[in-house]
Amino acid sequence: MAPDGTGRQGVRDTKDRTRGTLVFAAGPWQQFVTAVRDGEIA
């Protein structure tokens, strides 16, 4: 995961870097992380 300086979050597979990067806006990314942390998503 790496922020790109525009408020977006990039996520990629570190074992297969040829597959590209998924980019998420900061708000939805934070909602996802919070849901995982709170056990709403397993």
pLDDT value for 1: 59
Global model pTM greater than 0.75: no
Any domain includes 33: yes
The single-letter code of the amino acid at 18 is T
φ, ψ for residue 18, nearest 5 deg: -75, -10
pLDDT in tens, 4-39: 667 788 888 889 888 888 889 989 989 999 999 999
Q: What is the dihedral angle through the alpha carbons of 33, 26, 22, 20, rounded to the nearest 10 degrees?
A: -120
Please tell me the total count of domains within the chain.
1
**Token pair of 14 as six digits:** 């570190």
Any domain includes 2: no
Domain that holds residue 30: 8-38
